[in-house]
Structure 1
Amino acid sequence: MTAPAHPAPLAVRDLTVAYREAPVLWDINLEFPAGQLCAIVGPNGAGKSTFLKAVLGLMPKASGSIRFFGAPLAQSRRRIGYVPQRTSVDWDFPTDALDVVTMGLYGRLGWIRRPGKRERELAMQALDRVRMTEFAGRQISQLSGGQQQRVFLARALAQDADVYFMDEPFAGVDATTERAILDVMRDLQEQGKTVVVVHHDLDTVREYFDHVTLLNVSLVASGPIETTFSPELLRKTYGGKVAFLRESVAG
């Protein structure tokens, strides 16, 4: 069987993740299309964040094959950017915004070579893209939640990756930060990058994304917004508890 000429940014086969023998993700088979803004949605406890952590090697999997652009994670790290949930980060760590962003360049430098003037310039450029240059010297503990989120987004941007994974980047942020994040996502797409986002606000899925994956421990569906983000499939995903959705979900 001939390998595809342009392998998917992420292809997952038979992925299962268990916690104390209870499946958190079960037999996931999934590919994300290149150059798309992709949402992962599902109810609380559906395994959305677990999915990101498992494919990125941040937690063990029970079984499954994971390939980035046709290669295993170990060969693909420089092509991957990751924005974790803001609530999972120790914001009391004594460092400033510029240092946090510069840390995103360590994969390119290696751990022996220290970042220099060029790396600081790249980090400042990333902060500028998220409208945070004036806070470069500010301790991260002194930033608002939205500002902290933009710093971590800048850190991922500094990596100049080909595929970006973001774990609920819009959760609990102000309108200015939400718009800044969306602008960056669309800018990355214009550059041909792929962006995969765990997203919680169903009302904005159609506006923000091109592709949606519906997940509830098992994969319910994955495909273009037009065909996949439907009331029927959402009811399957949420167990029928979607009466709160606006008419815009139905298109």
Structure 2
Amino acid sequence: MPVHPLTIQNMTVAYEKKPVLRDISFQVPEGKLIGIVGPNGAGKSTLIKAALELIPKLSGDAAIYGKPYAEQRKLVGYVPQRESVDWDFPTNALDVVAMGRYGHLGWFKRPGGVEKKLAMACLAKVGMSEFAGRQISQLSGGQQQRIFLARALAQDAKLYFMDEPFVGVDAATEKAIITLLNELKMQGKTVLVVHHDLATVQEYFDWLMLLNVELIAFGPTEQTFTADKLQQAYGGKLTMLDRDGQSALITSGR
């Protein structure tokens, strides 16, 4: 029986006794690029943080390849929301990327020449080689996001969590990011991405999770990204525009 990259069972997370996620259960198949979408406050980022044991769960379990995250850190890469990072921390781009090797080195061994060489290769992968010595506070939002993607690459993980990697980036960076995510998928990696732009869901993801405190739907995008399921997730009236500004999907509230 296969061991799934991520298994969530009956997970509930609450802030000040108010459920943010309620009784969530699912299994993530391997080698998929998966979008996580839902309205503001749906629990998308909370889901990732709970799976990574960054916040406590009220009930339920999360397993990475059948074991708790604490035992599987080397298998996991994480790109947090950009606004949650202290960009004034005095370090340069190369050192940030090299930090991705700590899980392999152990926390008390500093990255050496081999790790720095790998970090440079990861910077090249995201088009940031020339910024290796630049302080992270001096980078643009899109450049900062590329640095964190390079750090995730340096981790050489099997399962990646990315929390809104496309927010605040330019079109060129967005294209670079989705190209990179598809490369990871082609290598057999599994990637979960919190996403907000419904117009690009069908183009970007082969699997989709619709979330609004409860799990609305989870499966192949062509089966999940439907008017009825979007109505359940977002409620009311939802008008989705494609990239050309044309109305692609309209659901009416009941």
Which range, TM-score by smaller chain? over 0.9
Q: Deviations over 1:64-84 (max 9, x none)?
A: 111111122122110000000
- Indicate which of 114, 117, 121 corresponds to 1:118: 114
Q: Residues of 2 paired with 1:244 and 1:161: CA distance?
A: 34
Q: Deviations over 1:136-195 (max 9, x none)?
A: 000000000000000001101100000100000001100111011111101101100000
Amino acid at match of 1:174: D
Q: Displacement, 1:245?
A: 4.2
Aligned to 1:139: 135
The DSSP-based 3-state class of the residue aligned with 1:24 is: strand
1:54 aligns with 2:50: yes
Q: Residues of 2 paired with 1:121 and 1:248: CA distance?
A: 46
Aligned to 1:80: 76
Aligned to 2:179: 183
The DSSP-based 3-state class of the residue aligned with 1:95 is: coil
Q: Displacement, 1:248?
A: 4.6
In structure 1, stretches of 5+ residues that fail to align are none
Give the conservation status (yes or no) of the 8 Å contact 2:239–2:249: no
The DSSP-based 3-state class of the residue aligned with 2:239 is: coil
Aligned to 2:61: 65
Q: Displacement, 1:241?
A: 2.8
Q: Displacement, 1:243?
A: 2.1
Give the conservation status (yes or no) of the 8 Å contact 1:234–1:240: no
Amino acid at match of 1:133: S
Aligned to 1:193: 189
Q: Residues of 2 paired with 1:219 and 1:35: CA distance?
A: 21
Deviates more, 1:191-200 or 1:65-74: 65-74
Q: Residues of 2 paired with 1:160 and 1:218: CA distance?
A: 32
The DSSP-based 3-state class of the residue aligned with 1:184 is: helix
TM-score (norm 1): 0.96
- Indicate which of 26, 45, 50 corresponds to 1:30: 26
Q: Deviations over 1:93-151 (max 9, x none)?
A: 11100010011111111122211100001111111111100100000000000000000
Q: Residues of 1 paired with 2:237 and 2:10: CA distance?
A: 28
Q: Residues of 1 paired with 2:249 and 2:163: CA distance?
A: 22
In structure 2, stretches of 5+ residues that fail to align are none
Aligned to 2:39: 43
Q: Residues of 2 paired with 1:31 and 1:38: CA distance?
A: 12
Q: Residues of 1 paired with 2:65 and 2:209: CA distance?
A: 19
Aligned to 1:154: 150
TM-score (norm 2): 0.94
Residues 106/249 of structure 1: CA separation in 2 closer, same or farther (3 Å cut): farther
Amino acid at match of 1:24: V
Q: Residues of 2 paired with 1:171 and 1:241: CA distance?
A: 24
Aligned to 1:96: 92
Q: Residues of 1 paired with 2:237 and 2:177: CA distance?
A: 29
Q: Displacement, 1:31?
A: 1.4
Q: Displacement, 1:204?
A: 0.1
Quick one: percent identity of the two aligned structures? 61
Amino acid at match of 2:109: R
For these two proteins, the number of residue pairs brought into alignment is: 246
- What is the RMSD computed on CA atoms of the aligned residues? 1.1
Deviates more, 1:158-167 or 1:235-244: 235-244
Give the conservation status (yes or no) of the 8 Å contact 1:38–1:196: yes
